[in-house]
Amino acid sequence: MKFQASINGIKGTVQYRMKFQASINGIKGTVQYRDEDVQKIFLPLLEKWKTMQERKGRRILVFLAAPPGTGKSTLLAFLRMLSCGEILPGASEAGPAELAPITTIGIDGFHHYQSYLDTHTTVRDGEEILMAILAAMAVPHPPLIVPEVGHGAEQQIAPTIAAYQRVMERAAALRPDTVVILSPHTVMYADYFHVSPGAGASGSFAAFRAPQVQVATAYDSGFCEALVKRCREEAFPAGTLGEKNAELDHGTMIPLYFLQQHLRGVPVVRIGLSGLPARAHYRLGQHIAAVAEELGRRVLIIASGDLSHKLKADGPYGFASEGPVFDARMQAVFRSGDFLRLLLTPADLASGAAECGLRSFWIMAGTLDGRQVKSELLSYQGPFGVGYGVGWFLPGGLDDSRDIGVQLARCEAEAMRAIRDREDSLVKLARLSLETFVRTHQLAVIPEDMRKSFADKRRGAFVSLKKDGQCVAALAPSSRSVRIWPRKSSTMPFRLGRETRGFRR
């Protein structure tokens, strides 16, 4: 004897003479009802309920309570169909004469929406089946998207607003414990990531002539402290030092403006960007994910950032050919989830496009390292000469092929080897001299075949010291040899890296 059932949206076959495999509330198992139990327990129980209902002359409520996963939903579905005669051979449509049809309602308190179940893991019997990072999104932050600022201009980006609302509705359905917002417009240092300290912050759109629009949030101080501690232990350049303005910036307020329409009371961690390379931003994302797991927090990542600011000649920043190219690249990344391509975005392309969100996206990608990612581009617009993209990224299970940080390091090493292979003898000498002194504080021994050519000639030398694309240089002659005076710029990180590049000019 068997029947087809749909339990909490999950369809399956239940029978009480043969075993069957079913997935009930996401739990797979074998279900079996014996004929003896049906005859001696279930049918008498239904008959008793009918007698009680007839004696009282009105509807009666029966509550079934048991621990999670013991088969309440399956049993209730079975009893309902049994009472209605749907699984008894020869029964009338109204059910057997001795029974009254029942209606069942599941009110299990431990159930979650499927979107919640799809984005979480746990460990059961040694198998990973709480995923700390619930989801991530990339969203723009044009002030005019707020009606009190746009005064009607926001209607030109209605698709962007609609996409904003959709991702925030999804985020609210996930019920995060903490929201991490990555903003290009909070304090930014060349060689340090700033994590906003304190119990919370607020801000307004007064700078955009709308002081009446205000946004406030509490900070997740526990998460902040754990993140800073982890970074300090790894000598990673991130912390709460150097705060210049505690007020919320518009890169933070605009995502919160939309999120708080759907979800309020969730604390925030606000993190700024830096002048450090892609691998450092990605590594910060990995630290964020690790802290979320350590604390058992369900975390939503919001990467705030506009795309190119140079899409139109009549736009506020003019036009550059790199603008549309950069935005097309970001759209492709948002569609595909190709985070390696994101991290390998050429510096000249990003700079020429005058973007502001790339580093936010780098950190976001790091929070999803080693996970399957379902990505979606919900909208893209650029009517005012600035690109606005809305992306949604839903993590899945572990995926060894998405160790993007490792892949990035491999690509960088290969690029460095290619550069070295193309260097001529003079550049190799410059590199040897500089790297030897930086690493050992000793002068390099010049190869014999080159020593004579430098012995009695006054020469000028232009040598570029580069770390992550930033360089300093000086040109100076000397009496009998080549001497170099490095000049430190205001944007150069304080410590010189192990890799330097020399080239002739």
pLDDT tens by residue, 49-64: 888 888 888 888 888 8
Token match 């004696």: residue? 55
Residue 472: its pLDDT value, please?
52
pLDDT for 21 beyond 70: no
Mean pLDDT over each residue of the chain, to the nearest integer: 82
Are 305 and 281 in contact, with CB atoms under 8 Å apart?
no
What whole-number percentage of the chain has pLDDT above 90? Answer: 56
pLDDT higher than threshold 90 for residue 478: no
Q: Is the pLDDT of residue 253 over 90?
A: yes
Question: Is residue 197 pLDDT above 70, yes or no?
Answer: yes
Residue 346 · residue 315 · CB < 8 Å: no
Label residue 95 left, alpha or beta by phi (over 0 means left) and psi (-120 to 50 means alpha): left
Q: What is the pLDDT of residue 485?
A: 45
Query: Stretch 320-327: mean pLDDT, rounded?
Result: 98
User: pLDDT above 70 covers what percent of the chain?
Assistant: 75
Q: How confident is the model at residue 123 (pLDDT cuts 50, 70, 90)?
A: very low
CB 106 within 8 A of CB 8: yes
> 434 or 270, which is more confident?
270
Q: What's the rounded Cα separation, in Å, for the pair 247 and 228?
A: 20
What integer pLDDT is reported at residue 274 of this predicted model? Answer: 97
| Two tokens, residue 504 | 């002739």
Which pLDDT value is given to residue 120? 54
Proportion of the chain in helix, strand, coil states, percent, rounded to 5: 40, 20, 40
* CB-CB contact of 461 with 484 (8 Å): yes
The pLDDT assigned to 31 comes to 62
**pLDDT at residue 335 is higher than 70:** yes
The answer, yes or no, to whether residue 188 has pLDDT greater than 60, is: yes
Q: Are 354 and 307 in contact (CB under 8 A)?
A: no
pLDDT at 239: 97
Q: Using the predicted structure, report yes or no on whether residue 28 has a pLDDT greater than 80.
A: no
Exposed / middle / buried, residue 272 (Cβ in 10 Å: 0-12, 13-18, 19+)? buried
Q: What is the pLDDT, as a whole number, of residue 489? A: 43
Q: pLDDT digit string (tens) for 364-413?
A: 999 999 999 999 999 999 999 999 999 999 998 889 999 999 999 999 99
Residues 164-187: tens digit of each pLDDT: 999 999 999 999 999 999 999 999
Structural domains in the chain, sorted by start = 2-83 (no CATH), 132-409 (3.40.830.10), 423-505 (no CATH)
Q: How far is Cα 236 from Cα 274, in angstroms, rounded to an integer?
A: 12
Q: What pTM was computed for the model?
A: 0.69
Query: Confidence class of residue 261 from pLDDT cuts 50, 70 and 90?
Result: very high
Assign residue 500 a region: left if phi > 0, alpha if psi is -120 to 50, beta otherwise? Answer: beta
**Number of residues written out for the chain:** 505
The string over 422-448, giving b where at least 16 C-beta atoms fall within 10 Å of a residue's C-beta and e elsewhere, is ebeebbebbbebbbeeeeeeeeeebee
- Report yes or no: 487 and 470 within 8 Å, Cβ to Cβ: no
Confidence (pLDDT) at 102: 85
